[in-house]
Amino acid sequence: MQDKWKLATKVIHAGHIRSSSGALVTPLCQSATFVFDSAEQGGERFAGDQPGYIYTRLGNPTTAELERKMAALEGAEAAVATASGMAAVSSALLANLQHGDHLVASKAVYGCTFSLMTAQFLRFGIEVTLVDFNDLSAIKEAIKPTTKVLFCETPVNPHLDVFDLDAIAKIAQANKLVSIVDNTFMTPLLQQPLTHGIDIVVHSATKYLNGHGDVIAGVICGSNEQIEQIKYETVKDLGGVLSPHDAWLILRGLKTLDVRLARHCDNAECLAYYLLNHEKVTKVYYPGLEGHSGYPLLGTQMKRAGGVIAFELNGAMEQSLQFINSLTLFSIAVSLGDAESLIQHPASMTHSPYSEQERELAGIGESLLRISVGLESVEDLISDLEQALALV
């Protein structure tokens, strides 16, 4: 029955198992460990011969509901929740890479993902090549006999390039590589990478999935075999496990994801067109604008263009920071997907792990700004942008 539900129904009902108490809301199972009926039962559960909970690092009823719901939303066989988006990224990658392996990734990714790949992986003897994933020939040329994984975000943080997932999946399949996509900016309601042939999807659940700015979390979705390995080896041993309370908060937030996303997208479209026509703005990056790399994929790969906008002012870094500091309704913060509209300066904030040369190669200039468009009245948001732009 659940397979036939629309996504707007799944965000509310998928994965839910009614509790014995009859509670409408999923109970919060705030317990670190679970009691066995006998020593024999404990041994059987550890051996995997009997289903049941053992210890929350290995599984928890509240977290399990979130995992079932996310698997249903992404069209995956299974999912595992993690303590942060970076725990999801690192766990998915480390489960598929070891010393001597090679990773091909898009040249622009979230700053901490970039740091993981270019600094931490060097310590583990994992080689990384960063290329433009819009250039399919560059991806193919970067592949070596030791290559094991293709990784990208789409849309890309922060300038919102969009990559063709069907084409990337075909390259991965032809070369027997594991393909991993960060779907944070879209959520499964706007884009489902697995339906395009991608193997594993990761999310920072901190963002739209939770939607209220009060949780740090991540999710990985994939096949039963992939998730079994990631959950009971990488996540278990590295310890990046989501707390039941945070899982409970995300389950609450997911119930309004469909209606929130509609408002996020509506507001973002209005702001994108406003900025596009402003004389002090030299470039706007938004997949909903004709001419953007993602525009041709709207309606096929992506249902809508999302709630994040990047743009460049006609000026240097000084003018960009002056503009940010002049805003009154936008909060200066580095997350996204919250009810509040947020603005940040990628070069000095989220993407500061990049060197100046690396930022230039990734297309992250000093005048680039990123907005996470919130749920406020769009007229008020435009008025705030107008008064700040007038001061630049």
Give the tens place of pLDDT for each residue, 370-388: 999 999 999 999 999 999 9
Rounded-to-10 torsion of CA 370, 376, 379, 382: -20
User: Which residues are annotated as catalytic?
Assistant: 57, 110, 182, 207
Q: Where are the beta strands (DSSP E) in the chain?
A: 78-82, 102-106, 127-131, 147-153, 178-182, 200-204, 218-222, 281-285, 308-313, 331-332, 342-344, 368-372
- Report, as an integer, the average pLDDT of 356-377: 87
Look at phi and psi of residue 13 and say left if phi exceeds 0, alpha if psi is from -120 to 50, else beta.
Answer: alpha
Task: Kindly tell me if the per-residue pLDDT of 361 is higher than 80.
Answer: no
Q: Which of 124-138, 161-175, 309-323 has the lowest mean pLDDT?
A: 309-323
Model-level pTM greater than 0.85? yes
- Report, as an integer, the average pLDDT of 149-174: 96
The pLDDT score that the predictor gives to residue 1 is 59
Task: Tell me the longest C-alpha to C-alpha distance in the chain.
Answer: 74
Q: Do 277 and 270 contact (CB within 8 A), yes or no?
A: no
Indicate the DSSP class of residue 217.
-
pLDDT digits (tens, 9 = 90+) for 207-219: 999 999 999 999 9
Q: Which of 235-249, 287-301, 348-362 has the lowest mean pLDDT?
A: 348-362
The pLDDT score that the predictor gives to residue 130 is 96
Residues 114, 60: Cα–Cα separation, whole Å: 31
**In the predicted model, what is the mean pLDDT of the chain?**
94
Domains of the chain: residue spans and CATH: 2-254 (3.40.640.10), 257-391 (3.90.1150.10)
